Amino acid sequence: MNIINEKKQSIYCINSRCKNKTIGDTEYCKLRSHHPTKTSFENARNTEIKKFNKHRIDPSNFKIIDGEYDGACLYRSFWEALYDFYPIETPESYQENARKWIMTHRNDKIPQLNETYENLTLETHELDDLEEYEKLYRIPASAPNEIKVELIQENKNKNRNKSRNKYKKVVIPDRWGGLSELYALSDFYRVPIKVYVLQRFNRKTFKINNVTLKSKDTKLYLLHFINDHYLSRDRLNYSVNLLYIDTDNIQHYMCLMPKSRD
């Protein structure tokens, strides 16, 4: 075991073979047994917690407006966020405006990503061509993903002239909104968008995890800040704030309404 300089004992691991010697860009070890003292471990943990809190926002600053867990959650969140400015819009019209913008500006490059709308849309939705996207996204995301199609077959019984109607179920792929629709809506309405994720610092493992609304001791982390140059447009200091829940089982958007606007 290496002897540690007293001035550095609060940050260095005493086990030279430890693979957990660093946490992020620090030299803290997450293992209590590898710290020379209990105080050393607590100092390391407290430093990481302070760093975690410094770069994140308290969720209590916002009113979280949740909705249906379907493909229309992004468009519904936009409707909530911009209702005061565009009261005649609907979640369906936001989807339609995003689709129109993408199709009209398919070859335009998105400066922040250095990628065209067409490429970003195909990558986001894993489609082969944009015409497939246009056809699919004409159907509202809030509409059922399964429809009945009527099949008319003639009755083989010669004694009956009537036709017998049969149906089959046809599954329609999801029309959820993603990164390409976020950029499209930002450009269409000339409004910046802030997308946050909910995170929690694990005091035992020193790891930062994305979590859901049910979790405790959470903070908001800014994942995307889209088109910040629109922030001061027409002296309007306003942005669309969204919460994106991204876990193994859930991918979902919610509206974050600043409480100062209530």
Domains in the chain, CATH or no CATH each: 6-54 (no CATH), 59-141+175-261 (3.90.70.80)
pLDDT of res. 189: 94
Separation between Cα atoms, residue 156 and residue 89, nearest integer Å? 52
pLDDT of res. 242: 97
Asked if 254 and 77 touch (Cβ cutoff 8 Å), the reply is yes
Residue numbers of the chain with a pLDDT score lower than 70: 1-12, 19-27, 145-165, 167-172, 233-236, 261-262
**DSSP string of 81-104, one letter each residue:** HTTTT-TT--HHHHHHHHHHHHHH
Residues 6+ apart with CB under 8 A from 40: 9, 10
Separation between Cα atoms, residue 111 and residue 127, nearest integer Å? 23
Helix (H, G, I), strand (E, B) or coil at 189: helix
Separation between Cα atoms, residue 52 and residue 221, nearest integer Å? 9
pLDDT of res. 12: 60
* Amino acid found at 231: L
Q: Report CA-CA distances (Å) from 203 to 18, 126, 200, 220.
A: 19, 38, 9, 17
Separation between Cα atoms, residue 34 and residue 176, nearest integer Å? 47
Phi, psi of 88 (to 5 degrees): -85, -10
pLDDT of res. 4: 40
Separation between Cα atoms, residue 63 and residue 48, nearest integer Å? 28
- Name the residue among 209, 239, 202 with its Cα closest to residue 224: 239
HSE (CB half, 13 Å, CA atoms) of 183?
Answer: 22
| Buried b / exposed e along 96-117 (16+ C-beta atoms within 10 A) | bbbbebbbebbeeebeeeeebb
Position of tokens 């710290």? 35
Distance of CA 117 to the CA centre of its chain: 18
Separation between Cα atoms, residue 140 and residue 135, nearest integer Å? 11
